[in-house]
């Protein structure tokens, strides 16, 4: 009897082992296919949510730049460049590569951040602290929002575009330093604004529907 019980036990264990072979190849392929389908369905939603978050970030940063510039003007009674002569002055660039004349917005960012620089260029830079002698921090910028030259860039790594009413006519003219201007700017002019800030948006091209502006 003991022998028969042992035999039955061994047979049961063998049967259980034979029924626990894991997934077959077809089952594995089916699971992988289902996961791929679900991932395909979720990707557009995730991508759309990420884009909305980036747009919200750009809108917030644009407002911060505008507020910082207005605070600067309140403090010093002037803009960092072109005070009263010539046309309005714009910062920002569309082309890639190194510094391109006065288009770089890092000239302006140094003054707003209270960081004396050594550029010595007549572009509104904070050369030896001359454009922010009180070293007031009007704007703080995360390192992740700056390119290797010190430009303040949007979530898509394009420099923010900034125009100041440096001829004091109450309007911002000649938007876009070396590039197109937003479709919402009539002939490159935004009336009744003394400072405007904008991003070329996800496509990196000025004058298209995805531009994000402060007005």
| Predicted confidence (pLDDT) per residue in 129-158, tens digit | 999 999 999 999 999 999 988 899 999 999
55-79 pLDDT tens trace: 999 999 999 999 999 999 999 999 9
Backbone angles phi, psi at 190, to 5 degrees: -115, 110
Burial class (CB in 10 A: 0-12, 13-18, 19+), 187: exposed
Q: What is the pLDDT of residue 113?
A: 95
Q: What is the pLDDT of residue 80?
A: 86
Q: What is the pLDDT of residue 161?
A: 94
Higher pLDDT, 102 or 50: 50
Distances in whole angstroms, Cα of residue 102 to Cα of each of 64, 121, 139, 185: 22, 8, 20, 22
- To the nearest whole number, what is the mean pLDDT of the chain? 84
Q: Tell me: pLDDT of 28 over 70.
A: yes
Q: What's the rounded Cα separation, in Å, for the pair 193 and 172?
A: 6
Residue 43, phi-psi category: left (phi > 0), alpha (psi -120 to 50), beta (remainder): alpha
Q: What is the pLDDT of residue 6?
A: 52
Number of Cβ within 10 Å of residue 207's Cβ equals: 16
94-133 pLDDT tens trace: 544 455 567 789 888 999 999 998 777 667 778 889 999 9
Higher pLDDT, 174 or 213: 213
Quote the DSSP letter at residue 20.
Answer: -
Question: Is 63:162 a contact under the CB 8 Å cutoff?
Answer: no
Higher pLDDT, 90 or 3: 90
Extract the tokens encoding 64.
């911060």
Q: In what order do the strands lie in the sheet with 212-213?
A: 89-91, 161-164, 195-199, 212-213
Q: What is the pLDDT of residue 92?
A: 84
Percent of the chain whose pLDDT exceeds 90: 46
How large is the average pLDDT for residues 185-194? 93
Burial class (CB in 10 A: 0-12, 13-18, 19+), 156: middle
Report helix angle 25-76 to 106-113, nearest 10: 70
């Amino acid at each position: 009897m003991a022998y028969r019980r042992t035999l039955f036990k061994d047979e049961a264990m063998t049967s259980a082992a034979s029924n626990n072979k894991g997934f077959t190849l077809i089952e594995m392929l089916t699971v992988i296919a289902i996961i791929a389908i679900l991932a395909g369905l979720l990707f557009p939603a995730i991508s759309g949510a990420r884009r909305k978050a980036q747009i919200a970030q750009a809108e917030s940063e644009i407002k911060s730049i505008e507020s910082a510039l207005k605070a600067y003007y309140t403090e010093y009674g002037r803009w960092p460049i072109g005070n009263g002569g010539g046309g309005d002055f714009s910062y920002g660039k569309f082309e890639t590569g190194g510094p391109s004349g006065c288009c770089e917005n890092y000239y302006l960012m140094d003054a707003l951040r209270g960081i004396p620089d050594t550029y010595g260029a007549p572009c509104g830079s904070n050369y030896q602290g001359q454009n922010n002698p009180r070293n007031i921090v009007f704007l703080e910028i995360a390192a992740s929002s700056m390119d290797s030259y010190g430009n303040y860039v949007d979530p898509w790594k394009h420099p923010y575009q900034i125009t100041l009413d440096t001829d004091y006519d109450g309007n911002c003219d000649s938007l876009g330093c070396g590039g197109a201007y937003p479709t919402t700017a009539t002939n490159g002019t935004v009336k009744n604004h003394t400072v405007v800030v904008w991003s070329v948006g996800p496509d990196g091209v000025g004058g298209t529907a995805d531009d994000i502006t402060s007005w």
